[in-house]
Amino acid sequence: MKKIKLVSIWNPKGGQGKSMIAINLAAAAMEIGIKPMIVCQDQQGTSMLYYRQGNLNFEVVGQIPEEKPDADIIFFDHQASDWEVPNTNLIVMPLKPARDQYATYIDAFKRASSKGKDILTIVTDGQAHRKSEKTTTDYLEKEGAFVIPSSGVFSRASEEYRTIFDPVLNKAYKIAERRREITKILGAILIDQLVQKEEKKELAHVE
Ligand SMILES: Nc1ncnc2c1ncn2[C@@H]1O[C@H](COP(=O)(O)OP(=O)(O)O)[C@@H](O)[C@H]1O
Ligand SMILES: [Mg+2]
């Protein structure tokens, strides 16, 4: 029996990009022939809402299926105020780098790493012209975080309940870059994000 990869998308604070990351990672998986499924903890949750609009080419379910699902990778789209460190070994933690959002991330990160979790951080929607946001982003990137800049592509996609991989967005501004960033994150999840972190450290030495 094949092993299904389990990934939690977690940050107890709302509006950090969890659902955005979950649906777009799933869409990126579809692009490379890996079958994803999203478990949205809340029936009214964002990824479930997207699914009901009918534009997604993968399944979103409201709870963990009893039967082993036909999927290669399952993304758990956690809800806001879910303070419990998820059970999966790998946790993807998105955050927006504004100062008042950062404290929740740090607290949650510490609790997850004290439980030995592999954590992949994604800084999203950062405004590089704001000095404090840039400082936070640069620091986390040096620590191995992935960065997705603030981009109108995501606003447009979310208005239409689409992922950025939807062909309708093929001509959107800088769409190829945004898709590449998401696909790279998926790659790190599929290989082992820690390997990438090490490589990044080594590269920093060489430069
Ligand atoms: N890089 C980005 N550029 C623009 N908007 C973004 C970006 N990342 C996230 N967003 C937007 O931020 C909002 C909150 O994201 P969401 O995924 O719903 O957060 P959460 O699931 O953590 O509550 C959404 O409207 C999403 O489209
Ligand atoms: Mg959400």
More confident residue, 204 or 35: 35
Q: Which of 41, 101, 130, 158 to mutate to test the pocket of ligand 1 (most atoms within 8 A of CB)?
A: 158
pLDDT at 19 over 90: yes
Interval between CA 68 and ligand 1 midpoint (Å)? 30
Tens digits of residue pLDDT in 116-140: 999 999 999 999 899 999 999 999 9
Q: Where are the beta strands (DSSP E) in the chain?
A: 5-9, 36-40, 59-61, 73-77, 90-95, 118-126, 146-149
pTM flag (> 0.95): no
pLDDT of the residue at 48: 97
Q: Which domains does the chain have, with CATH numbers?
A: 5-206 (3.40.50.300)
pLDDT of the residue at 22: 98
pLDDT at 206 over 80: no
Compute CA distances 156 → 23, 128, 166, 188, whole Å.
15, 20, 11, 26
Q: Is the dihedral of CA 156, 160, 161, 162 positive or negative?
A: negative
